[in-house]
Structure 1
Amino acid sequence: MYPTFVTRGLLQLRLITSTKPLNLQLHTGVSCFAAVKKTSAAGGVMGLGKGKKKGGKLTTMEKQQLPVETDPEKLVNYVCGSNIYTTGEDVKLKDDSEYPEWLWSLNTGAAPRIEDLDPNTKEYWLRVRAAGMRRNNKLRSMRKF
């Protein structure tokens, strides 16, 4: 038997010199078909969701009025809106002593600044990492190419 590169060379030579087209699959490492990139006017590849959408006429959506609880007795004693099912009632509030102590020490305001955090904590380094990623993403979006 011939070595594989000689066999491939002979088959390629036979394909070039043959008058009839041969339907042989050659494993030469070279693709036979080139992909054609079709782009839209918006700059994206066609069919990938970018660009102008074709559709019917746009209509205005009407605002949906959601019911708001106005009963002060119910607002004080229940967590309004906690029941997502069509049947049943909202969760009833308990006394403050029945809730854990850590619940009352949660920060409900703005997050502390990075400068105010201790560098020896995990929260500090998570915030530094997030700030670095935001900075890199901003710089990457400003590139011209």
Structure 2
Amino acid sequence: MSNWYMLNCYISENKMSQYGLFRTISLAQCLHRSSTSLCQINLSNRIQTCGYAKKVAAKGKGKGMVKEELKGPEICKDPVRLTTYAVGVNIFKQGEDPKLKEPGEYPDWLFQLNLGMPNKLNELEADTWEYWKRLRKENMWRHNKLHKGKKF
């Protein structure tokens, strides 16, 4: 009996092991003698392992990261500043908003601009550029509504 010794060996044979997705490792007890070897496979000790790569820790953006909120411009609530400066007009990173001038220094057409709803087609004169532009726009809206439900 001294010639016999116990050895735990690992056998990794499976049809899927060539693809690297799943490997089945079975533990076997092998008895080796000088001329013969006898192995008994223990089926209850089968271990299934996946050959996937390790997950790398997230460095940048992703599902696990905290999203940074975008900050908008600061809202000015100072009534003195709102009445003396054109707040929000400066588009550059440096510098200040321009100061408001006296109403006499601005052109007259600036105070005649329509800031409300646009005029309807029947309120405009037929010979003006605004009339023809509005007519073209309304015809495009009408055409798009008519062809919205058609599949062909």
Provide TM-score, normalisation by structure 1. Answer: 0.53
Q: Does residue 113 of structure 1 match 2:120?
A: yes
Which residue among 95, 100, 104 is the counterpart of 1:97?
Answer: 104
User: CA deviation digits over 1:12-31, x for unaligned, max 9?
Assistant: xxxxxxxxxxxxxxxxxxxx
CA distance in 1: counterparts of 2:110 and 2:96, whole angstroms: 24
Deviation by residue 1:65-115 (Cα, 9 ceiling, x = unmatched): 541112221111001112222321101100001001111111111111111
- Specify the structure having the higher radius of gyration (Cα): 2
Deviations 1:39-75 (A, max 9, x none): xxxxxxxxxxxxxxxxx76x98746454111222111
Moved over 2 A (4+): 59-66
For 2:137, the equivalent position in structure 1 comes to 130
Paired position in structure 1 for 2:92: 85
**1:68 aligned residue:** 75
Distance 1:128 1:120 in 2: 12
Which structure has the highest helix share of the two? 1
Does residue 144 of the first structure (1) align with residue 144 of the second (2)?
A: no
Between the aligned residues of both structures, percent identity stands at 43
Normalising by structure 2, we get a TM-score of 0.51
What count of residue pairs does the alignment treat as equivalent? Answer: 90
Please give the alpha-carbon distance, in whole angstroms, between the structure 2 residues aligned to 1:61 and 1:130: 41
Question: For 2:127 and 2:72, how far apart are their aligned partners in 1?
Answer: 49
Give ranges in structure 2 of 5+ residues lacking alignment: 1-61
